Homo-oligomer: A and B are copies of this chain.
């Protein structure tokens, strides 16, 4: 029987009525003759409330105990959903991450799935039951309960879809799919019908919050089609799947932006082999998550290195950066929390020169200064002043006419070569 994994986020199961609504949708899918494995997050703000409770008894909660605490959230949601489904006359059975065989490493709070042994889930599905699995959680080799970090439920869903050889992994959320830009900033943003795993990966990495990077990565590795859709309507959402020859060839898929990072610039760095390695190894060891890294060609034996870090980590990162800068003999460290990043993503840009130039021109015409540029074969990212980010997103969205359906084989007027 065809199998589908359906994942519902915290908003979708935010209260008893919404849980009943989700139950109806799940049962409808099962009634269509498919076997259904459901993955749920904790109800509404449950996770945040538990974190707040922890903060009231402990200044620095032990990661193992914090995971023990937080996993209560999905447990409640999954049991309630299971009951609500049974109420509709369908057999359902709920499983914790551990019971569902979600094996992880030992990194509490940000564990990675190492293996999925979903025997109990498979058995339940074979018996015609609907299986409900707690997202976000797993179990370490020492039998400690672990969590996968924010957005981990998406990864649970994709991992189960891979193990169960599901025909799709449906991610139900409070938006209708993946958009060409954040609709709160660009009212004319268009819902995408389909995009490739790689494009979604770049969008997620660049700040699109609809899907977490790790879930998309997992889906790409196992070739799992993801269907991002609204839990409040029946309209089809956005398919994220393997790139194929027949896939619509939009040059640009969409724009992502990220206002959560801060910029660090180290100037006067001696241009010697191994210097960058020393810097970023130290930051990695200290657990500081570095995103964009840009280094220019050296002049007069010195170079400048810029990178971005999550703004919340800046305070703890600064002393580490200062120390390592001193060690490598750099001249100066400057930090800047008031920045934001705009990224243009599209598999089509690989074969279309001029996209980067068009983006830079558009920003210049809007009076927005570009502080850092970084590109991949299907993405161009620019760091700009934080208070300019919304204007930047709107200007670039307009320039590439992303509100219109299918921009195929055509680049907006520009004669410049792509500088990316």
A68 partner residues in chain B, CB cutoff 8 A:
75, 78-79, 82, 94, 96
> Judging by beta carbons under 8 Å apart, are A65 and B79 in contact?
yes
Q: Is A321 an interface residue (CB 8 A)?
A: no
Measured in the bound complex, the distance between the Cα atoms of B76 and A50 in whole Å is 8
| Complex interface bits, A92-128 against B, C-beta within 8 A gives 1, otherwise 0 | 1110100100000000000000000000100000000
> Judging by beta carbons under 8 Å apart, are B79 and A69 in contact?
yes
Measured in the bound complex, the distance between the Cα atoms of B56 and A16 in whole Å is 6
Q: Is A371 an interface residue (CB 8 A)?
A: no
Closest Cβ of chain B to A31, distance in Å, is: 19
Closest Cβ of chain B to A100, distance in Å, is: 12
Q: Is A57 an interface residue (CB 8 A)?
A: yes
> Judging by beta carbons under 8 Å apart, are A82 and B65 in contact?
yes
Q: Is A357 an interface residue (CB 8 A)?
A: no
| Complex interface bits, A186-212 against B, C-beta within 8 A gives 1, otherwise 0 | 000000000000000000000000000
Q: Is A62 an interface residue (CB 8 A)?
A: yes
Q: Which of A83-91, A268-276, A285-293, A324-332 contacts B (4 or more CB under 8 A)?
A: A83-91
Q: Is A220 an interface residue (CB 8 A)?
A: no
Measured in the bound complex, the distance between the Cα atoms of B73 and A72 in whole Å is 8
Measured in the bound complex, the distance between the Cα atoms of B132 and A105 in whole Å is 23
CB contact under 8 A between A16 and B57, given known A69-B76, A72-B72, A76-B72: yes
> Judging by beta carbons under 8 Å apart, are A57 and B19 in contact?
yes
> Judging by beta carbons under 8 Å apart, are A20 and B57 in contact?
yes
Residue among A64, A76, A79 having the largest count of chain B Cβ atoms under 10 Å? A79
Interface residues of A in 40-71 (CB under 8 A from B): 50, 53-54, 56-59, 61-62, 64-66, 68-69, 71
A81 partner residues in chain B, CB cutoff 8 A:
57
Q: Is A370 an interface residue (CB 8 A)?
A: no
Chain B residue at minimal CB-CB distance from A87: B58
**A16-B53, A19-B57, A65-B93 known, 12 other contacts, Cβ within 8 Å:** A50-B76, A54-B80, A57-B87, A61-B83, A61-B86, A62-B82, A65-B92, A65-B94, A68-B94, A69-B76, A69-B79, A69-B83
Q: Return 23 A-B CB contacts under 8 Å, by A number.
A: A16-B57, A20-B57, A50-B76, A54-B79, A57-B80, A57-B84, A58-B87, A59-B87, A62-B83, A62-B92, A65-B82, A65-B92, A65-B93, A66-B79, A66-B83, A68-B78, A69-B75, A69-B79, A72-B73, A72-B79, A75-B75, A99-B143, A120-B143
